[in-house]
Chains A and B, each alone.
Chain A
Amino acid sequence: MVRPSPAAAKTERLLNLVIALLYTRQPMSKSRIRTAVPQYAASSDEAFDRMFERDKDELRDLGIPLRTEVVDPLFDDETGYRIDRREYALPEISFEPDELAVIGVASRAWSQASLAGPAAQALRKLEASGLTRDVGSVAGVEPLLHTTEPAFDAARDAVLARREVAFRYRGGAPDGPAERHLQPWALTAWHGRWYLTGYDLDRDAPRVFRLDRVEGEVRATGKPGAYEVPEEHEPRAMITATATGEGGEHVARVALRMGSGQQIRRRGDLQKERGPNGWDVIEVRVGSLWALAEEVASLGPDAVALEPEGLVSAVVRALTEVRDGHGQQNHYENAGDASKTTTKIGGGA
């Protein structure tokens, strides 16, 4: 027989350990566990100790309720281990076929997001009993959730663990990203974007953060369960207020080509007047002119900033730099340089 790979040997060892601990009625002492799991029996004392400690942690991380108990009540100096079958097993839930169908929709909603694996696994667990789905009632309805923001996983962990975090954030400051400290309260998807809400320790106030403006990693800096989430916290209301610029101090006007600039249109009001080229004019209230300037610049020739002057100059500055940075001399007249770079990446195309 072919020898299993180290990873396969480890899975085999862990599976034997789980079965042994579920099988036993009495807590098993470490020495009994060592004889019960073949891969342990074949190791040195030291190697076994190390392996067993790590294996226990990994089983717990997987959500397996591993109990530590006294082996014999009369001699409480020896601890043993077991897994309670009732604690281990998914409760017996009987789902109706139409309920399983909507759970299927919920599971597939994550199929292209970071929770795809857990979502599929959960569905298989619930369907293990062999019931079939009746998809008729929800056939053809498919909400698809995306988690393209790299910070999603760490933000979710921090929210669920109620753990303070630090991250670099590109907020409304023209001088670049700043380090922010937050007690995260909730993670919310709204209009196709993920937002982290919480108590901002730098500003001493509740704040909203767009996950796609987080730079690099979200680092957990505090202990789990270190604070409470206020019961009255309503992430959606807070996000809507921030995104629509409610209470924002700047009133801006932007002209938009027909159909473009949906994000700005959504937040602002269409004016009666027509802009340059007969375009729509949108009035929008914002907290940060800088963030709006970025948005207007990103639309290139499909948007024109009209007011205030600070917005107009920021957009003009950004686009002038882009134009000059992509001047012809960089790419065509200086052909030697351009051909070098093209050759370098050409192989991968």
Chain B
Amino acid sequence: MAETATQRLGRLLTMVPWLMNRQGIDIAEAARELGVNQEQFVEDLQLLFVCGTPGHYPGDLIEASWEGGRVHVGNADEIARPLRLGRDEALALIVALRALAATPGVGAKDAIERALAKLEDAAGAESRRAAQVSVSLEVGEVEQQRLEQIREALAGPNRLHLRHYNPTRDETTERDVDPMRVVSLEGRWYLEGWCHRAVDVRRFRLDRIEDLTILDVDGTPPAGARPRDTGASAFSASPGDVLVELELAPGATWVSENFPVEGVERGEDGSQRVTLRAADPTWVRRLVWRLGGGATVVSPPELAEEIRSGADRALQAYGVH
């Protein structure tokens, strides 16, 4: 989605004080830290130096330069302080900090409490409203213990030895893992690290780690190990995804409003034909079974066949043929 003129203004008002406190910063680093590409960043600086206080004589204008790749911004006293936190800005930080504060095992409790108190103070009324939005990052007793052990290993860094249960294969395996991070995703905590058994980065659900020991071995992951993508799980489209075409009965058209579909053709009877991309067809199978005839997979034919035979096998348990 393209940035609106007003959103860009908000970004510039944050960028100016940030840069004024980092005079001479490398242009590539500044752009990266500010979350824009370098081309956009230069356009931003070009916009700044034609703005200024009434009169707009050269001495009134903001100074912005990037000679030799070093960024300098000055003569912008009026906007040298950032704008106070907006509603959603305060909300985002306060909700996440409160969630962390209420989660045992994540550590840094003291810093979280102090940061939260200062932010609530600065945000005033916004912080009281933020109480209406909350996130609970469930941590069970076992998960809490695992979290604490993994944080200890990360601080080393030490290698971990773990016994892990995989329910899909119904098997328990023993692995040595160099920990990279613990992530909470959709209500579950996972250890992510370099698995010496898989010789790759793997993610393990904490409540499925049956046993965990910190080894007296250096746990630095290989230089090339990268965290796994945590994009919006099943719904983030990528080039390798399966393109699925679905026929939706009139009562099931909510699907096209709730999932990122790429094309919608509407039939005269209120039905829809939609296409969507799925990284893992599992959720499409589940969706279609759930809809009980409200949706039909038109293509790919392999997926349609899996859904048919899955339903057929399920029905055999009820003696239905």
CB of B257 within 8 Å of the partner chain:
yes
Are B96 and A15 in contact, CB atoms less than 8 angstroms apart?
Answer: no
Cβ–Cβ < 8 Å partners of B86 in chain A:
62-63, 118, 121-122
State the CA gap A259–B167 with chains docked (Å): 5
A106 to B135, CA, bound (A): 12
Docked pose: A110 CA to B144 CA in angstroms: 22
| B85 nearest in chain A by CB position | A122
How far is B7's CA from A142's CA once the two chains are assembled, in angstroms?
28
Chain B residues near A142 (CB-CB < 8 A): 181-184
Q: Kindly specify which of A67-75, A125-133, A281-289 makes contact with the partner chain.
A: A125-133
**A215: interface (CB < 8 Å):** yes
B107 and A141 form a contact (CB under 8 A): yes
- Name A177-227 residues within 8 Å CB distance of B: 177, 185-193, 212, 215-216
The answer to whether the Cβ of A264 comes within 8 Å of any Cβ in the partner chain is no
Q: Are A299 and B111 in contact (CB under 8 A)?
A: no
Question: What is the size, in residues, of chain A's interface with B at 8 Å between Cβ atoms?
Answer: 132
**CB-based contact B9/A11 at 8 Å:** yes
Taking the nearest CB of chain B, how far is it from the CB of A19, in angstroms? 5
Q: How far is the CA of A93 from the CA of B114 in the complex (A)?
A: 12
Size category of the binding interface on chain B = 35 or more
The distance in angstroms between the C-alpha atoms of A12 and B62, with both chains bound, is: 12
When the two chains form their complex, are residues A345 and B47 in contact, meaning their CB atoms are under 8 A apart? Answer: no
CB neighbours (8 Å) of B225 from chain A are none
Q: Are A18 and B82 in contact (CB under 8 A)?
A: no
**Which residue in chain A gives the minimum CB-CB distance to B301?**
A331
Q: Cβ of B264 < 8 Å from any Cβ of A?
A: no
Contact A138 B311 (CB under 8 A): no
The CA of A24 and the CA of B121, in the complex, are separated in Å by: 28
Interface residues of B in 264-303 (CB under 8 A from A): 275, 285-293, 296-301
CB distance from A314 to the nearest CB of B (A): 8
CA distance A190 to B230 in the complex (A): 19
Using a CB–CB distance below 8 Å, which chain A residues touch chain B?
A: 4, 7-8, 10-12, 14-16, 18-20, 22-24, 35-38, 58, 61-64, 85, 87-91, 93, 95-96, 98-103, 105-107, 109-110, 112, 115, 117-125, 127-130, 136-146, 148-150, 156, 159-160, 168, 170, 176-177, 185-193, 212, 215-216, 229, 235-236, 258-260, 276, 294-295, 297-301, 303-304, 312, 315-328, 330-332, 338, 341-342, 345, 348-349
Q: Jot down 19 A-B pairs with beta carbons below 8 A, ordered by A.
A: A89-B83, A95-B115, A99-B114, A100-B115, A118-B89, A136-B155, A137-B111, A138-B106, A141-B147, A142-B183, A145-B96, A160-B132, A187-B133, A294-B292, A300-B314, A304-B314, A318-B289, A326-B311, A345-B299
